[in-house]
Amino acid sequence: MANKREIAPGHRRRTALLTRKVAFADPLRSHLRLSDDGTRIAWLQNEDGMLSVMVADALDPASARRLTGGPVRPVSPALFWAADERHVVVFRDHAGDENYQAFSIDVDAGAEVTLTPGGGTRTLFNRSSRRVPSDILFSVNDRDPESFDLVRVNVATGQRITVFQNPDFSRLHADADFKVCFGERVRQDGSIEVLKRQGDGGWVPFLDIPPEDSLTTHIDGLSADGDVVFLLDSRNRDRTALVAIDARTAVLTVLATDSEADIAEVVYDPDTGWPLAAAAVAARRRWHPIDEKFAADLARQLQDAAGLDLVIVGVSAGRRRMLIRLEASDAPAQLRIFDRAKRRTLQLFPERDDLEGMPLRAMLPVAIRSRDGLTLPAYVTVPAGRARRRPLVVVVHGGPYDRDAWGFSPLHQWLASRGYAVLSINFRGSTGFGKAFTNAADREWGGRMQDDLDDGVAWAVKEGIADPDRVGLLGASYGGYAALMAAARSPDLYNCFIDICGPSDLLSFIAKIPPYWHNWFAMILRRLADPATVEGRKWLQERSPLVHVEQMVRPMLIAQGLRDVRVNPAESRNVALALLRRNVPVTLITFPDEGHFLLGQRNRIALMAVVEQFLAYHLGGSREMLGDDLEASSLTIEIGGEWLGPLF
């Protein structure tokens, strides 16, 4: 095997560097939300790495004031308004354990009230309603870790009652009166049955979702009276459509389709619950109006967007006001409010104002042909200057049933400012491009999904974008798994690998899934394999990076949160120790106060400081000195890291 040349750290700066503390800080403002009556806005504001809740009059952002609810840890969903228009709700977990607890904050008095149990309980928002403005419906698993009961909570007092004790449904849907109407249950073959609740409390079959549609078909909303179900539906078609199904007659009406991509976003009327418009995201976002009166407002906003991607964040009661986010790939998002009565749009503020003068580059959508004939939607960001064949970093998204999309990417911008070309590939299994593309990943973990990444590198080399002797691969979660598998499968193609919280042992990964995933276990087994069978265990072992450590010879950086509830931290340690025993250059860094998603700002900056030095050492890009970026975090270097010494 030919040795790929190691590159000494780069020292020349052809352009100003986008600093880590700017690129990976939480945005100054995020999760902007419009109250139901449209009179106020609330958002999370970054203050030295902690997030505080801010509130202002919708048409007067200068009236912003900080609520006394205190800082909140960044989780998702992070912030929403209660229908009483006086309370906002935030969620917190404990150091990344994903057991979210809900709290309300009175925007007038500043009082904070605990809404749902803590102590290892996971809470998910189910719905709110203008018909019951004082209460919110949550899904809570305090009774049984595997099942989420529906709990109705008074947003002002925290008083709660269980309105539905869940026997075994994976999802529950309620109408605007908080009456449970539909339940979804996953069968052993991975298909989903949707049942309708009768007036006497009994259940009857309503919909059947075949296994091949289980990732691309689901109930997206109900009309306020519960008489119509709005379904994102891929049955009998490839690309998901938005359809309306009469709950009494089962008559189906198609409301929106797109020729290139799945319908992925729907904006609903807050009063009736009916769809106003729907969007599909192929290379870029494309809107399809549904309501005739709303179509004129949408057309005006699209015209004003001037080539940016339009996101409708919220619509107020009576459609009086609309909160809009305009996305660019080389600038922070802009936030606006459209006032329908006054026929004017107010510019609020950018999400962040710390990018002025920074060297930002456009993200370009591209299409890559896989070796077996699939079209792989991808995005590339190229550094400034005329030089060809730059060092390339392939960034692999997690999920894997997720996707990369066009827009502002701190990671792309940060790497490009250091002289790297950056490539993000929607490999097979990525969502949004039709069910055939998603289902093409079944039993292809570590197989053709990896081929797609390698084919992307070959494309970048052929196009003159990438230097074939300077290629790295970086990924988190499934992307981390892909980095480990690439290290074993394609050591001649890449110089180095970065794995962030990626599973290395699929048997261990399946055994450790959180209890609240168990309702979806049949779908997981369909996409991978069943460890209860001899054939399934053999397949899972073969597709586990840990059993292929002997083929790994390139430098590896592994990062792991020690409170990860999805990937056992032992999986990262086992790979690192196995590489260490074989004298393969490996560094393992851990974060004792993080889970699967490294959410703390200081920890995130510290992680990227190490990533930057690692890439500079092995690919030769420009770098920013470490400074004090490690000192402010909980980062611990457990194994390796000797190469960091001369870079301080």
Q: Is 178 left (phi over 0), alpha (psi -120 to 50) or beta?
A: left
Least reliable range by pLDDT among 103-112, 204-213, 464-473, 510-519: 510-519
Once rounded to an integer, what is the mean pLDDT over residues 130-157? 96
- Residue 313 shares a structural domain with residue 362: no
**Is there a contact between 405 and 468 (Cβ–Cβ < 8 Å)?**
no
Mean pLDDT to the nearest integer, 366-370: 98
> What gap in Å lies between CA 80 and CA 150, rounded to an integer?
18
Cβ count within 10 A of residue 60: 11
More confident site: 278 or 600: 278
pLDDT exceeds cutoff 70 at 503: yes
List strand residue ranges (DSSP E) for 269-372, in order: 275-281, 285-289, 309-315, 321-327, 334-339, 344-350, 363-369
DSSP 348-368: EEES-S--TT-----EEEEEE
Phi then psi for residue 490, to 5 deg, are -130, 55
Q: What is the pLDDT of residue 71?
A: 60
Q: Is the pLDDT of residue 399 over 60?
A: yes
Q: Which residues contact 443 (CB under 8 A, 6 or more apart)?
A: 527, 528, 529, 539
Comparing 598 with 185, the larger pLDDT belongs to 185
Classify residue 215: in a domain, yes or no. no
pLDDT of amino acid 16 = 67
**Judgement on whether residues 302 and 375 belong to the same structural domain of the protein:** no
Cβ atoms within 10 Å of 291's Cβ, excluding its own: 18
The reply to whether 256 falls in a domain is no
pLDDT given for residue 7 in this prediction: 34
Q: Phi, psi at residue 487, to the nearest 5°?
A: -60, -35
**Final residue belonging to a domain, choices 318, 338, 353:** 353
Q: Is the pLDDT of residue 50 over 90?
A: no
Does residue 446 share a domain with residue 435? yes
Statement: residue 519 has pLDDT above 70: yes
The position carrying tokens 């593309």 is: 437
pLDDT in tens, 190-214: 999 999 999 999 999 999 999 999 9
Report residue 378's pLDDT band, with 50, 70 and 90 as the boundaries: very high
Region 280-305: what's the mean pLDDT? 96
Q: Cα(first)–Cα(last) distance of the chain, in Å? A: 33
Same-domain pairing of 413 and 321: no
pLDDT at 10 over 60: no
Looking at the predicted structure, is the pLDDT value of residue 5 above 60?
Answer: no
Q: What six digits make up the tokens of 278? A: 């729907």
Please report which confidence band the pLDDT of residue 364 belongs to, taking 50, 70 and 90 as the band edges. Answer: very high
DSSP label at residue 211: G
DSSP 3-state of 2:
coil
In this structure, is residue 296 part of a structural domain? yes
Q: Among 331, 353, 375, give the residue marking a domain's end.
A: 353
Number of domains in the chain: 2
- Segment 532-572, tens digit of pLDDT: 999 999 999 999 999 999 999 999 999 999 999 999 999 99
Average pLDDT over residues 299-318: 95
pLDDT of 644 reads 84
480 plus 575 within the same structural domain = yes
Say if residue 312 is in the same domain as residue 406. no
Domain assignment present for 601: yes
d(CA 96, CA 77): 14
Distance from C-alpha of 216 to C-alpha of 236, rounded to nearest angstrom: 12
Lowest-confidence pick of 92-101, 369-378, 413-422: 92-101
Judged against a pLDDT cut of 60, whether residue 79 lies above it is answered with yes
Q: What is the chain's mean pLDDT, rounded? A: 93
Indicate the residue type of 473: L
Model confidence at 2, in pLDDT bands (50, 70, 90)?
A: very low
Segment 374-401 shows an average pLDDT of 95
Region 243-257 average pLDDT: 97
**What residues form DSSP beta bridges with 44?**
30, 53
CA distance 612 to 622: 9
The model carries a pTM of 0.94
416 and 447 within one domain: yes
Average pLDDT over every residue of 27-49: 92
Distances (CA, A) of 10 to 416, 420, 486, 647: 14, 11, 25, 11
Confidence of residue 643 (pLDDT cuts 50, 70, 90): confident
What are the CB-based long-range contacts (under 8 Å, 24+) for 93-96? 93/595, 94/118, 95/563, 95/593, 95/594, 95/595, 96/561, 96/563, 96/564, 96/565, 96/593, 96/594, 96/595, 96/596, 96/597, 96/598, 96/599
Q: How confident is the model at residue 8 (pLDDT cuts 50, 70, 90)?
A: very low
- pLDDT more than 90, % of the chain: 84
Domain assignment present for 85: no
Domain annotation covers residue 200: no
Active-site residues, by number, are: 477, 564, 596
Inside any domain, residue 146 = no
Tokens of 538: 């053999």
CATH number at residue 390: 3.40.50.1820
Does some domain include residue 295? yes
Please indicate, yes or no, whether residues 322 and 334 belong to a single structural domain of this protein: yes
Of 639, 614, 626, the C-alpha closest to 391 is 614
DSSP assignment of 3-60 equals PPPP-PPP---SS----HHHHTSPPSEEEEEE-TTSSEEEEEEEETTEEEEEEEETTE
Q: What span, in angstroms and rounded, lies between the C-alpha atoms of 554 and 572?
A: 16
By the 8 A CB rule, do 323 and 136 touch? no
Same structural domain for residues 634 and 489?
yes
pLDDT beyond 60 at 647: no
CA distances from 610 to 598, 630, 640, 645 (A): 14, 8, 12, 11
Domain that holds residue 339: 291-353
Please report the pLDDT score of residue 6 as a whole number: 36
pLDDT of 648 reads 43
Please tell me whether residues 583 and 446 are part of one structural domain: yes
423 shares a domain with 345: no
Query: Could you tell me the sign of the dihedral formed by the alpha carbons of 301, 304, 310, 315, in that order?
Result: negative
* Shared-domain flag, residues 384 and 344: no
Q: Residue 458: which residues within 8 A CB-CB, separation 6 or more?
A: none
Domain's final residue, options 307, 329, 353: 353
